[in-house]
Amino acid sequence: MSDSNPGILRRLWRFLGSLVRIARTLISTLLLLVFIAMLASLFGHGLKPLPEHALLRVAPTGTLVEQRSWSDPRELLGSGGGPAPETRVADLVEAIGAAATDARITGIALELDDLAGGGLDKLETVGRALLAFRTSGKPVIAVGDSYTQQQYYLASFADEIHLNPFGNVLLTGLGSYHLYFKEALDKLRINFHVFRVGTYKDA
């Protein structure tokens, strides 16, 4: 009888040890799931269904680009700042095109305050997409606190342009960008003609 007691105790301790290990595993798994759920609630953005009538908010940020620039993660860690904001032209065109055929979208609110600029070809590509959207009978309304020349050019494709009463419009004109290379034009034998219309246009 005394010989069997140690065996029973050993089996009992093994059983209790197994229960403790299982409990630890379950608790660790539960804590991990809770942590993941907390992260998902903080950083997750669930898609909400669209109402029957909604405006598409088009608010490009940074510079319009064909393809986003590559950033070295090591440089980002060293400088402590993030990359310059960019917006792909293809993303804007795709969203605007999809909104044109979506019955729930009744118009576009074009917000350009955060648009830093972009080449004229890129601005025109987005502008043509806005014009195509307008052919569906839906309005495009541009709103802004102020407009730079490139912002105003893109806003000109809208049905209406709204400006903050205390805002301003900065139009410098394309003539201020001097793309004139005399020696290159002389070597290529290209004649340069300047046409001006109106009083004081040659001032």
Ramachandran area for residue 81 (φ above 0: left; ψ -120 to 50: alpha; else beta): beta
- Domain boundaries, given as residue ranges, for the chain: 1-46, 54-175
Q: Please state, for a pLDDT cut of 70, what percent of the chain lies above it.
A: 83
DSSP string covering 61-122, please? Answer: -EEEESSPPP--HHHHHHH--PPPPEEEHHHHHHHHHHHHT-TTEEEEEEE-TTEEE--HHH
> At 73, is the pLDDT very low, low, confident or very high (cuts 50, 70, 90)?
low
Give the residue with greater pLDDT, 114 vs 84.
Answer: 114
pLDDT at residue 34 in the model: 87
pLDDT digit string (tens) for 153-179?
999 999 999 999 999 999 887 765 566
DSSP H or E stretch at residue 108 = strand 105-111
pLDDT at residue 3 in the model: 54
> At 194, is the pLDDT very low, low, confident or very high (cuts 50, 70, 90)?
confident
Query: Which residue matches tokens 């060293």?
Result: 78
pLDDT digit string (tens) for 37-52?
887 776 666 667 778 8
CATH classification number, 54-175, choose in 3.40.50.2300, 3.40.50.10260, 3.20.20.10, 3.90.226.10: 3.90.226.10
Which of helix, strand or coil describes residue 78?
Answer: helix
**What is the pLDDT of the chain when averaged over all its residues?**
85
